Every structure is written in structure tokens, then in C-alpha cells.
Amino acid sequence: MNSNRWQLDGSTAVVTGASKGIGRAVAIELARFGAHVLAVARDPANLQNLRTEASQSDLNIDCLSADVCLAEDRNRILNTAKSQLGSISILVNNVGTNIRKRAVDYTDQEIAAIFSTNLESAFSLSRLFYRELSAAANASLINISSVAGITALRTGVPYAMTKAAMIQMTKNLAIEWASSGVRVNAVAPWYIDTPLARPVLNKPNELSQILARTPMRRIGKPEEVAAAVAFFCLPAASYITGQCLAVDGGFTVNGYGD
């Protein structure tokens, strides 16, 4: 067996929302597999912390402060990636946000912000990076969706809508881009110990209900989501496209289980 199937040496990756939580874990995991990573986020302070950690661990991670919701910044991400990475073989659309309210309580501005951050930015970046990805030998596009896009949750309707749309976008792009050698997959996490989830996880009653619905009876770790992302990017996954993998401790298949 060719061990290179389980490595990313020579690969180059752009990871959005990479300064904390799942995105940070993904950037580190891909770099540990041998990829040269451009970590993108709005927060320069957290990016500096990532840069320091990468340097101390001898990981090849560059950082860029940019807002994926802005067209000019998306172009800057592409140009920086081409300049610093050369070719681009992996794009991870991880940026996401949520506002937890009842459907009737959202303002138009809040809905627009969720759609712009979670969905429109991912679609725009995917289109923007298509030419670079299609020129790569083992190209992989990964969308970070959510179990909220698979089943009903109490996380907010606009968030769930964007995550469901992201899964459908994954399927359609996988078919459209297969002939160009670009594999497109999605990862759908349940509650993961991240800054976005902690406002809910810090409430004892909410936490107990979440754990009761999770067969593995624990909250997931960012590194566990990152491992799924890395697998999709590996040459070993070269015949896998159009899939959505739930990283959820069994939540989405629990049904009326214990």
C-alpha cells in the first residue's frame, strides 16, 4: 500500500474562519498531514496566536486577516493564496455564525448577515477558487455544514436554512465539477466545544438535554471535526465526492433511542 495515500505532502489549503474553533483545528490538522495552509479570519489577534503555535510546532501555516463576506477581500484571499501557496488544492469553507431567536423575532439585517456569512461567502469563494482547484492533482472542496441542515433543531431557522443549502450546494457542485477533478464534500457537526456553541453549552439545562440526545453522551471536540475534513482531503478518499458526513456522536440516527 502506498503510504502517500494517507499524507498531504505537497498539498496547499485555504481554510476560512481559521482563527478559532473548528477552523483553527482544521488548519492545524491539515498542516500536520503535510499541507501548506493559508488560515483566513477577521481577527488578527487570534491569527497571531495561531501563527505562533504553528511556528512552535514547525507547521507550515500562513495567516491572512480578511472578511469573506466582502468581494474585495475574497479576491485578496485568492491573490494571497496564489502568491504564498502557489497552486491551491484544498478549500475549506468553514466561516459561520448563528443568532438564536424565534423565526418571527429576526430583523431583516440579521437574516441577511447569516445568509451572507454562512452561505453566500462559501458559494462565492468556491466559484472564485474553481480554476485553481481544477488545475490541482488532488483537489478537494470541503463545506462545514451542520446537523441543523439535516434535522430540526432549536438553533434558529436562518442558520438551519443556510446549512441545509450548503449540503445541497455540495451535492450539485460535486456533480458539476467531477469531470474537472474537483471533489466536493461536506461535514456536519453536532454540538462541538467551540466559542460559537459555548453560550448554549454553558447553560446546565441546555447541556443536559443535548447530552441526553447524544448516544455517546459527550460534546464533540474541534479536532474530531478536523479529522473528518482531513480524511476527505486525502488521496485515500479519491473516489468520494458529494457526501455529507455527520460528526455528531450518533445524534442524527438516534431517533427514539435511549
* Enzyme catalytic residues: 159
Distance CA(94)–CA(121), nearest Å, equals 10
Burial (CB < 10 A; 0-12, 13-18, 19+), residue 19, is: buried
Beta strands in 49-146 (DSSP E): 61-65, 90-93, 139-144
Q: What Å distances lie between residue 83 and 38, 67, 86, 97, 253, CA to CA?
A: 11, 18, 6, 29, 44
Distance CA(141)–CA(100), nearest Å, equals 28
Contact (Cβ atoms closer than 8 angstroms) between residue 21 and residue 43: no
